Amino acid sequence: MTLNIVVDGTIEDSIYEYGVVLDTLLKSKPKYDELFHNVTEAGEELSSKVTETLDNLYQLDDRQFEPIFNLAFYLLSSSNPDLESVLEKTQLVNKIVQIEERIQKEDSKSRKLIEPTSLVSVLTTVFNSLPENSARRLDVLNAIVGLLERNKLQYLITPTLLDIFYESAKTLGTSESSSEVLFELYRVGNISDISFVKKVILNFSVDVKHINEFLTNALNNEKLLDLSEYINIEKISSADSAILDLLKIYTSVDLDAFNKFDFTTVPNVDKSAVLSKLHSLVIAQLASANSTLKFADIASALSVESEAVPDFVINTIYKGSIQARIDQPNELVFINKVNILTAFDLAQWEAVRASLQAWKGCLNEVRSNINSNKKNKFIQQQRDQKERDREEE
């Protein structure tokens, strides 16, 4: 049976269609036809009777459910343009969640049960229909997140979806209730990119536990080496003192202080992952001041044996911190490029300053040569013009 629901007719046509289709699909004729028999216009009576049918929509199969729900939602919203009021009176979001609970208890072979993705789809319809400043949007978003988590649909939470819900939550205000939903969505999606969390922390009121989680994840993330910008985020100062101390040690590239740090105070931090990143930063820091590094100097900076240096350098190259070539027979590392900013000491800054001054001098020389060439060319053009004028006379 092909199911087509069209709502471009009159409200009376849509009411009639809803009752007939429900009777046909649920094999309940004439139950719903009679229920809507004398209802010909939108209003409280229509809303009440449509609400009465919602508890039976779980009996539809997956193909039938979404178009029937959309027709029911159309009738409800036509009866009362105030969708917040509609959701409150009908408990529509709860009824959708209850459909999930009821179909999970069924073992039907006679029909294809409603898929969780279809429930997410109709919840998204409800979400998009609400005004952008409606607090009810958070309730719908919470229901969506719960459905995704319970049904292992984390793959649906893409960075694009995160951004859409972020903008929606921001429209509602930057309260902790808004940020809690976003953090939950991020957690369920198991997103490795922490830039989303950073954006939430910067723009919303957040519980300190989320700041601690953010810093922990940033330290544990092996792909995220440069954490220096996080030190300057004002809200970061409210994090637990132990994790703040570790972050300062890490961004200072202080290996000695790292080795003395008490990691029992930050039980969720992966010490080996952070140490691996710190080793790469130490090498990158050395590379930022020298185009050629000796194995012995790297070994001394890392407090390891020279034989272990190639592995550390390879790991640093793999992390993308530097581009380099290893000359193992001569125990040298030739640096082609440093791809990450590291903490500079005074001597390194003086070296950078000297390089910039030399570059500036070269640019001035180039500019002087260009101006000189332009002047000489202009003089020559004037001479040529005078010569042509004499010939014409």
Lowest mean pLDDT among 31-45, 260-274, 328-342, 353-367: 353-367
DSSP state of 194: T
In a domain, residue 141? The reply is: no
Which pLDDT band holds residue 41 (cuts at 50, 70, 90)?
A: confident
In a domain, residue 367? The reply is: yes
How far apart are the C-alpha atoms of 250 and 65, rounded to whole Å?
54
Sheet holding 292-294, edge to edge: 292-294, 332-338, 322-327
Output the six-digit token pair for 367. Answer: 């500019």
Question: Taking 90 as the threshold, does the pLDDT of residue 267 lie above it?
Answer: yes
In a domain, residue 369? The reply is: yes
Average pLDDT over residues 55-82: 90
Q: What is the pLDDT of residues 326-344, one digit of tens each?
A: 998 999 999 998 887 544 4
Average pLDDT over residues 199-211: 88
In a domain, residue 358? The reply is: yes
Higher pLDDT, 349 or 177: 177
**What pLDDT, on the 0 to 100 scale, is given for residue 74?**
92
How open is the CA angle 299-229-340, to the nearest 5 degrees? 40
In a domain, residue 356? The reply is: yes
Which backbone phi and psi does 300 adopt, to 5 degrees? -65, -40
Name the percent of the chain lying above pLDDT 90.
Answer: 30
Question: Taking 50 as the threshold, does the pLDDT of residue 4 lie above it?
Answer: no
**What pLDDT, on the 0 to 100 scale, is given for residue 345?**
46
**What pLDDT, on the 0 to 100 scale, is given for residue 169?**
84
Question: Taking 90 as the threshold, does the pLDDT of residue 177 lie above it?
Answer: no
In a domain, residue 344? The reply is: no
Which pLDDT band holds residue 393 (cuts at 50, 70, 90)?
A: low
In a domain, residue 240? The reply is: no
Domain count, the chain: 1
**What pLDDT, on the 0 to 100 scale, is given for residue 229?**
80
Question: Taking 90 as the threshold, does the pLDDT of residue 118 lie above it?
Answer: yes
**What pLDDT, on the 0 to 100 scale, is given for residue 334?**
93
Range of the domain at 378: 352-393
- The pTM (predicted TM-score) of the whole model is 0.64
Which pLDDT band holds residue 356 (cuts at 50, 70, 90)?
A: low
DSSP state of 115: P
How far apart are the C-alpha atoms of 262 and 255, rounded to whole Å?
13
Task: Give the best-scoring range by mean pLDDT among 221-225, 300-304, 366-370.
Answer: 300-304
How far apart are the C-alpha atoms of 64 and 1, rounded to whole Å?
10
